Chain A
Amino acid sequence: DAKTTQPPSMDCAEGRAANLPCNHSTISGNEYVYWYRQIHSQGPQYIIHGLKNNETNEMASLIITEDRKSSTLILPHATLRDTAVYYCIVRATYYGGSQGNLIFGKGTKLSVKP
Chain B
Amino acid sequence: GAGVSQSPSNKVTEKGKDVELRCDPISGHTALYWYRQSLGQGLEFLIYFQGNSAPDKSGLPSDRFSAERTGGSVSTLTIQRTQQEDSAVYLCASRFGGSETQYFGPGTRLLVL
Q: Report A's interface with B, CB cutoff 8 A.
A: 32, 34, 42-46, 49, 87, 93-94, 96-98, 100-107
Contacts and interface: CB of A to CB of B under 8 A. Distances in A.
B33 A100 contact: yes
Contacts of A107: 42
Nearest to B99: A46
Contacts of A87: 42
Contacts of A46: 101-103
Contacts, number: 58
A100 B103 CA distance: 13
Interface of B: 4, 31, 33, 35, 42-43, 45, 48, 50, 53, 56, 58-59, 91, 93, 95, 100-107
Identify whether the interface residues of B are mostly helix, strand, loop, or mixed. Answer: strand
B56 A93 contact: no
Identify whether the interface residues of A are mostly helix, strand, loop, or mixed. Answer: loop
A44 B105 CA distance: 8
Contact of B100 (A32, A45, A96, A104): A32
B69 to A, nearest CB: 15
Contacts of B58: 98
- Considering residues B58, B95, B100, B101, which has the most beta carbons from chain A within 10 angstroms of its beta carbon? B100
